[in-house]
Structure 1
Amino acid sequence: MADQTVVSTANAAMVDNPLYLQPVSGDSAILYSAQDFRRTVSSLFPRAGVLNPSFTITQRSAGANFSIDISAFRAVIQGTSVTDQGSYITVSTGTVNLTTPSAPASGSRTHRVVAQILDKQATGTQYGWQFLLKEDTGSGVPALPANSIDLGRVSIAAGQASVQNAHITQTWVLADQWAGGLGGGAPVGSFYQTVGQNIPAHTWTDILMQGEEYDPLNGHSTTTTTSRYYAQLPGYYLTLGSVAWFTLDSNTTPGTIPLAACIGINGSNVDSSTNATLNTNLVGDTSVVNARPKVVWLNRGDYVNIRGRHQWSVGAMDTQAARADCRSNLQVFYLGG
């Protein structure tokens, strides 16, 4: 049988002109619509979302009142009013202040904050886009409107005098273009210990990390609660790391001290992340115990760390921090939301 074809100009389901064709001299111009270009955006960003990981919604910086500040913003927003509408790119270059409702007479209200496309060709009467606060009138959080992405919630209760950061919940996610990326603006990190730590026996202890290799979104501090990496975005993270145990007692022999390492979230051990073994080192040397790598879900503000435990009958043990090739460490990689 001869080769069979279905040409785009002969089938209504096929878009006539793939991007990007250019006619040769003498042929008619090949025209592309805005929808054609929005299809390109949709192809590059399968899921709509924010493009700048530093984006945030906060209380009014000039003094808290019933309004919120929305930081500089870049996002991909999927059109949902018509079939195959495609995705739009929106940009705000500075802080925008958005008014909120005042406190209700009783109870509390939770309002939804979104970024919404205005496209008269698809629906409505305007061209452009807007930050929009959808008011909770007493029936709960309003539904997500068409042609928009979710950014946050603002909770306001009776008697409240203003909107503070504690009343704002960030609900936005990154567009898929960022998911799984290393470095740049992605939420990833690599941390290590530079000062040996004294660990009591029979006690799970958070391992301090004073050194950083990379931390583009500043989820970790080298001076305060240094064991913790705080998630800057909600999503799935690959977490892994190890505890380097240091033996000082001259009577210690290999295979006599149970040692363990695990991953912790918000102070609790993660299921199936514990790895336990017996020490393999002589006095003055190191036994490295790797926690089992885990993919975990972290909400914004959750923290993850490496935890260690030993059962040395003599007493406390130290961790090894002097040797760069085998010191305690933690790595965190964002996989997507």
Structure 2
Amino acid sequence: MTGLPVTTPYSWSVADTFTASIGNGIRDQLTFLQKPPNFVGYQGVTQSLGNQVWTPLGLDQAPTDPYGGHSTTTNTSRYVCQSGVGGWYTVCGVYTPNGNSTGFRAVRIQVNGAPVPGLGAYLPSMGAELGVVTPTKDVFLNPGDYVEVCGWQSSGGSLGTAIDPDMRTGLWLRYSHA
């Protein structure tokens, strides 16, 4: 059972008797706690980023998405908070550019196209492929809000993302609490 909304606990009164409806509500609450919304998405195809431009990073692979918040064909950079499961989500992302020894590399998390304070990171280029990782932080999402990981680079020209078996651009999130 996946895709369950956040449920409201039943409020018992002295005269209540246990019914199938109440039992199903308890079952759904426990199932939600066992299987809350979570998402793992990453790049399987390289992407070119322009010089000094914040760019949402496409995620064409989504091995974990039980609530269906991501599409691998439309707006592939976005995870959209689904109806019934608004709340606090723990979010982290990584931007993995190809090696280049010029300029800086940066990554940030955006919600609805706006950067989230405290969820960005910068590194000087070291000439080799490297993963620039955002801090991990809880972010409040309403249903319909979307989260993206964005990359930025200042190599002087376009720079592609790296696709390695053990290092690639990605976004991770999971429901934390209401």
- Give 1:287 shift: 1.7
Deviations 1:201-257 (A, max 9, x none): 11111000000121111111111111111112101100012000013xxxx43xx42
Partner of 1:90: 21
Once the two structures are TM-superposed, the CA of residue 195 in structure 1 deviates from its matched residue by: 0.8
1:332 is matched by which residue type in structure 2? L
Deviation of 1:175 (Å): 3.8
State yes or no: 1:328 paired with 2:169. Answer: yes
Over residues 287-319 of structure 1, what are the superposed CA-to-partner deviations in whole Å (9 max), with x where a residue is unaligned? 210011110000011111111111122x11111
Whole-angstrom distance in 2 between the partners of 1:245 and 1:198: 9
Contact 2:49/2:159 (8 A) holds in 1: yes
Residues 238/198 of structure 1: CA separation in 2 closer, same or farther (3 Å cut): same
| Higher relative contact order, chain-length normalized (CA < 8 Å, sep 6+) | 2
CA–CA distance in 2 between the matches of 1:191 and 1:328?
Answer: 9
Does structure 2 retain, via aligned residues, the 8 Å contact 1:273–1:294? Answer: yes
Equivalent residue runs for 1:128-207 within 5 Å: 175=29, 178-179=32-33, 181=34, 184=35, 186-207=36-57
Shift in Å at residue 281 of structure 1?
Answer: 3.0
Residues 77 and 89 in structure 1, CA contact (< 8 A), matched pair in contact too:
no
How far apart in 1 are the matches of 2:39 and 2:60? 13
- Counterpart position of 1:68: none
Q: CA–CA distance in 2 between the matches of 1:310 and 1:260?
A: 6
CA distance in 2, matches of 1:264, 1:52: 26
Cα pair 2:109 2:147 within 8 Å, conserved: yes
Q: Can you give the 5+ residue segments of structure 2 that lack an aligned partner in the other structure?
A: none
Q: CA shift at 1:86, angstroms?
A: 9.6
Structure 1's 85 and 229: CA in aligned 2 closer, same or farther, altered over 3 A? same
Larger radius of gyration: 1
CA contact (8 A) 2:119 2:135 kept: yes
Counterpart of 1:316 in structure 2 is: 158
| Contact 1:78/1:86, CA 8 A, preserved across alignment | no
Contact 2:106 2:151 in 1 (8 A): yes
Does 2:144 match 1:298? no
CA–CA separation in structure 2 for the residues paired with 1:245 and 1:228:
19
Q: Distance in 1 between matches of 2:89 and 2:176?
A: 5
Q: 1:211 aligns with which of 33, 37, 61?
A: 61
Q: What percent identity do the matched residue pairs reach?
A: 26
CA contact (8 A) 1:76 1:90 kept: no
CA contact (8 A) 1:205 1:308 kept: yes
Q: Which amino acid aligns with 1:296?
A: V
Separation in structure 2 between the aligned mates of residue 175 and residue 224 of structure 1, nearest angstrom: 32
Q: Tell me which residue corresponds to 1:278.
A: 124
Aligned residue pairs total 172
Q: What is the CA distance between 1:336 and its match in structure 2?
A: 1.7
Distance in 2 between residues matched to 1:308 and 1:84, nearest whole Å: 58
> Match for residue 236 of structure 1?
88
Distance 1:259 1:52 in 2: 37
Per-residue deviation, residues 145-198 of structure 1 (Å, max 9, x unmatched): xxxxxxxxxxxxxxxxxxxxxxxxxxxxx847634x4xx4x2111011011111
| Superposed CA RMSD | 2.9
Distance in 2 (CA, whole Å) between partners of 1:266 and 1:212 is 20
Q: Using a 3 Å threshold, how does the CA distance of structure 1 residues 280 and 76 change in structure 2: closer, same or farther?
A: same
Gap regions ≥5 residues in structure 1 = 1-50, 56-73, 94-173
Question: For the residues of structure 2 that align with 1:222 and 1:259, how far apart are their CA atoms?
Answer: 25
TM-score, normalising length: structure 2: 0.84
Q: Is the 8 A contact 1:76 1:87 kept in 2?
A: no
Offset of residue 89 of structure 1 = 6.0
